[in-house]
Amino acid sequence: MENKLIQIIEAALLSASRPLTIKEIQRFFS
Per residue in 12-28, pLDDT (tens digit) is 788 766 776 778 778 87
Q: How far apart are CA 1 and CA 17, in angstroms?
A: 26
Q: How far apart are CA 15 and CA 24, in angstroms?
A: 11
Chain-centroid distance, C-alpha 13: 9
Q: How far apart are CA 26 and CA 14, in angstroms?
A: 17
1 vs 12, higher pLDDT: 12
Query: How much is the pLDDT for 11?
Result: 81
Query: How much is the pLDDT for 17?
Result: 67
Query: How much is the pLDDT for 24?
Result: 77
For the chain, helix, strand, coil in percent to 5 are 70, 0, 30
3 vs 30, higher pLDDT: 3
